Each structure stands twice: as C-alpha cells, then as structure tokens.
Amino acid sequence: MSNNTLDPKVRRQVADELGFYVYALLDPRTSVPFYVGKGRGDRFTSHGYEAMYDSESDFDHEVVKSSKVAKIREIRDAGLEPEIWIIRHGMKSDVEYTSVEAACIDLLQSFPVLVTAEGVHRFPNQYLQQLTNARKEASSGNGIMRLTDLIAEMTAPLLSTTMPLLTVTLGGWVETPEGEEMPGGIMRYGYGYKTEWLPSEERKKHYSEIALSASGWWPIRPNEDQKSTIEYAVVIHRGVTRALLRILPGSWVRNPDLKKSAFEYEVVEDGPVFDETVGEFGHREPPRKKGTQNVFYWPRGL
C-alpha cells in the first residue's frame, strides 16, 4: 500500500481516527529516524505526508530551506520515500502531544540509533531486550506503529461474512521457554501476536507461527454440532483479521486439567473463503460488547 496513492477520503478517515499524534520520519535506507513532529486532524497531510509533495511550490519558503526537506529530497532522488511511524496517537490535548514530542526529541538527540544492515528493516518494539523494564506502561492500543500498518487497520473492510467461524483473538506475544505440547504432538514456545507480523508482507511469512499460536488452549468446549458446522477459524489481532485456519475434522482435544481445548489445523492462504474473511489487509471486526471472550463462535451466538 503506497501512502501517496491513498484516496483523500481514506486519508481523512485515518486523520479523524488518529486524533492528536506524534510521528517520526525514517530514512528507509538505514531505518534511522531523522525528524520528529506532531499533528492532528487535517494537519496529517501537512505533517506525515509532507514527504509526498513534488515540488518546492508545495512548501512554504521557510520549510523549503529546512534540513528535513533536504533529507526528504535526498531520499526521493534515490527513488524511495521516507517511512512514517506514528509514535503515539489518540491523545487529547496540545499539552499531552507536545510533551510526547519533546520527550522523543530529547531521547533521539541523546542516544544514537544504529544504522541497520542493507535490506534489513526495523519494526515497532523489535528490540524489547534492550531495556530491563519488567513492564511497559499501557499504550491502550495507541502505541508506536508504522503509518502504513495503521492505515491498513483503520481502513480494513468490515467482517460481514455469514459463514460459521471460530474467531480467535490474540494479544501481545508471550514467551514460554518451557514449551507446551499442542495437538498433533507439536511443541510451541510462545503464543500471541508479534509486532513484527503487523505488516501484511511480514504476516504472510509467519502464517504457520500465527496458526500454531491460535490453535489453543482456549476455555471453550465445542459441542458436536459446532464441531461439524464450524470448518474454519479466523485469527484476530487489534480488531483486524490476520490469518485463516481450516480446523481438521476430529482433531479437537480437551485438556481436563486446564479445562481448555485445542485443535489441529491447515493454514489457508488464498481462495474465496480467505478473501471473504482475511484478504490482503484483513477485515475489521465489528465492535464487541464489553466482557466478550477472546474466543467465540461467529456469527455471534452460534
């Protein structure tokens, strides 16, 4: 998905949903940020999309002379576009987003960001081991993401299929070094959804890991009618479908100690059912009622 080919209505929709936000521009050749700014509403196009303008006439005189624009032009002359990362969005006031912007600028001007190897790209929260923090303050779903990934999420079509499904919502990734055995004798050493899987091009490379994470263990006990009716399970993360599994007939396993169930599966990567439930950029799940479990039958109440 190219930022500069987005329909203006899509940009407007994304701008409305972002609220007050702080962003960074990265050099795609090195993955090093070279500018931090803030924006809101219609300023989305004049901030994050500044990299898309074609001529000096699109900028005011002061901006044309800036180091930022010189860097943008250097990147564009190489046939590339700056990466736009939204560091935090959904803030409510000038004071809040100005403070976040100032903290980001202080941090980046105090500690160097290393250049990545050629062909290697950064992903949000890729270097969790760099800090010894035992916990991270909650970002309420508004934490750092690449703009292209946010656009894909916010503009994903609504999941409207009437096909019976098992929907499995995955949270953030959790390591399980001791491992746990899954149906079929497969061992897994973690569950959840990794942030580096958010871009569609990366998600496609990791369908098998996403599927293994989503196959169990869940506090459900499907009856015989549900087992025969529900052929597919769709994986959801951040409210958007990410992968599709075909539940193998007769593969449901019940763990009486955990009082949870799991199943064997085949990954589905294309075809009519895949297009109807996941597709290129996922489908957005309709708003849930408060207290809805992470695993339930679709359509709801099935």
Within a 13 Å sphere around the CA of 256, how many CA atoms are in the beta-carbon half?
A: 0
pLDDT digits (tens, 9 = 90+) for 71-99: 888 998 999 988 889 899 888 888 998 99
- Residue 266: which of 189, 195, 214 has the closest Cα? 214
Burial per residue of 172-191, b for 16 or more beta-carbon CB atoms within 10 angstroms, e otherwise: ebeeeeeebebbeeeeeeeb
- The residue ranking higher by pLDDT, 83 or 118, is 83
Question: Could you tell me how many residues make up the chain?
Answer: 302
DSSP string, 121-147: ---TTTTGGGS--S-----TT-S-EEH
**pLDDT tens readout for residues 10-63:** 777 677 778 889 999 999 999 999 999 888 865 555 544 554 444 444 444 454
Asked if pLDDT for residue 115 goes beyond 70, the answer is yes
Q: Which phi-psi region, left, alpha or beta, contains residue 102 (left: φ > 0; alpha: ψ -120 to 50)?
A: alpha
Domain ranges of the chain: 3-148, 165-298
Mean of pLDDT values over 266-270:
97
2-38 per-residue burial string, b: 16 or more CB within 10 A, e: under 16: ebeebeeeebeebbeebebbbbbbbbeebbebbbbbb
Burial of 57 (0-12, 13-18, 19+ CB in 10 A): exposed
CA atoms within 13 A on the CB side of 229: 14
Residue 302 has pLDDT above 70, yes or no: no
What is the per-residue pLDDT for 135?
A: 62
CB-based burial, 203-238: b 16+ in 10 Å, e otherwise: beebbebbbbbbbbbbebebeeeeeeebbbbbbbbb
Instruction: Give the model confidence (pLDDT) of 193-245 as tens digits.
Output: 998 888 787 899 999 999 999 999 999 999 999 999 999 999 999 889 999 99
